[in-house]
Amino acid sequence: MAHVMGPEKNQRIETLESSARSRRLSNSALEFFNQCLNFGRSVLPQSCQLCGAEGAPEPLCAACRADLPSLPSRRCTICAVPLATGSFCGSCLDRPPRYERVEAAFLYDYPLDALIHAYKYGGRLALARLLGTALAQNVARDVDVIVPMPLSRGRLAERGFNQALEIARIVAGHTRIALLPEACRKVAETPSQAALPWKERARNVRRAFVCDADLTGRKVAVVDDVLTTGATLNELARVLLRAGAAGVRGWVVARTAR
């Protein structure tokens, strides 16, 4: 692991080690100390996840962080899709969704797509903090509870974690809004939405969710990583409203353009 550390950090560790020696720590204590250092090296991100620059304090260096695509200010009031003109997209005008609106931190575009891919499929869990913190900074916090977009059992076993839940934990920490990780379950193993034509997406997720919580009178924010058509959010909103929710909002890290 030494090759990923900057010379400054090496120096600091050497200083720590020599001061430990000078205090005549026993061998076993020094060994324990070294194990702690190794553990720290293995869990702390040492280089930028996008460009590989070393010594980045976060998963991203400052330049890559500044490159993340923000959502244009002209967008649909309801589903947040970028618009050339007007306040509502045609789809929300034709068939208003069950959710009130979508709030997003970023536009789903390069290089954020690469980052989310690394997070979901490369298991880069350190990225949840970055994505969740950015999301928390871009939402109106007037909801009562946070519900993560559920993942089916099969998908959970395959991936090892629910990407929406890990982001939701960070958002809940920042906003101090209660997180209900177990409120909803995905009971149907639906094919990935990405593999389907847009028109089939709503049918694909129908009756995919069950809500076990009583949400009477509560405003709910559903946290997810990416929103594309909104079909999945719309179906979960239906179930949440049936469980008594006073309103449902989508909080997503990234919104795709249409």
Question: Which position among 5, 68, 71, 76 is part of the footprint of Zn ion (CB under 5 A)?
Answer: 76
The verdict on 104 binding Zn ion (CB under 5 A) reads no
Question: Which position among 5, 68, 71, 92 is part of the footprint of Zn ion (CB under 5 A)?
Answer: 92
Q: Which of 160, 2, 138, 132 is nearest to 58 (CA)?
A: 132
Piece in contact with Zn ion (CB under 5 A), picked from 63-71, 131-139, 149-157, 209-217 = 63-71
What is the nearest approach in angstroms of Zn ion to the Cβ of residue 258?
9
| CA distance linking residue 4 with residue 120, whole number of Å | 24
Task: Name residues whose C-beta falls within 8 Å of residue 230's C-beta, 6 or more positions apart in sequence.
Answer: 79, 97, 99, 102, 250
The verdict on 62 binding Zn ion (CB under 5 A) reads no
What is the nearest approach in angstroms of Zn ion to the Cβ of residue 57?
11
The verdict on 51 binding Zn ion (CB under 5 A) reads yes
Strands 247-255, 219-227: pairing kind: parallel
Confirm if 46 and 13 have CB atoms less than 8 A apart. Answer: no
Query: Strand 178-179's sheet: what is its strand order?
Result: 101-107, 247-255, 219-227, 145-148, 178-179
223 phi/psi in degrees, rounded to 5? -95, 130
The verdict on 118 binding Zn ion (CB under 5 A) reads no
Q: Name the residue nearer to Zn ion (CB basis): 68 or 76.
A: 76
Task: Give how many residues touch Zn ion by CB under 5 A.
Answer: 11
Per-residue contact track with Zn ion, 191 to 230, x per CB under 5 A? ----------------------------------------
Piece in contact with Zn ion (CB under 5 A), picked from 19-27, 78-86, 129-137, 162-170 = 78-86
The verdict on 61 binding Zn ion (CB under 5 A) reads yes
| CA distance linking residue 208 with residue 189, whole number of Å | 8
The verdict on 89 binding Zn ion (CB under 5 A) reads yes
Task: Name residues whose C-beta falls within 8 Å of residue 42's C-beta, 6 or more positions apart in sequence.
Answer: 1
Q: Name the residue nearer to Zn ion (CB basis): 83 or 241.
A: 83
Around 193, how many Cα atoms within 13 Å sit in the side-chain half-sphere? Answer: 19
The verdict on 53 binding Zn ion (CB under 5 A) reads yes
What is the nearest approach in angstroms of Zn ion to the Cβ of residue 101?
9
The two three-digit tokens of residue 58, written as one number = 């976060």
What is the nearest approach in angstroms of Zn ion to the Cβ of residue 58?
10
Confirm if 188 and 235 have CB atoms less than 8 A apart. Answer: no
| CA distance linking residue 171 with residue 136, whole number of Å | 5
| CA distance linking residue 165 with residue 224, whole number of Å | 8
The verdict on 50 binding Zn ion (CB under 5 A) reads yes
The verdict on 44 binding Zn ion (CB under 5 A) reads no
Q: Which residues bind Zn ion (CB under 5 A)?
A: 48, 50-51, 53, 61, 64, 76, 78-79, 89, 92
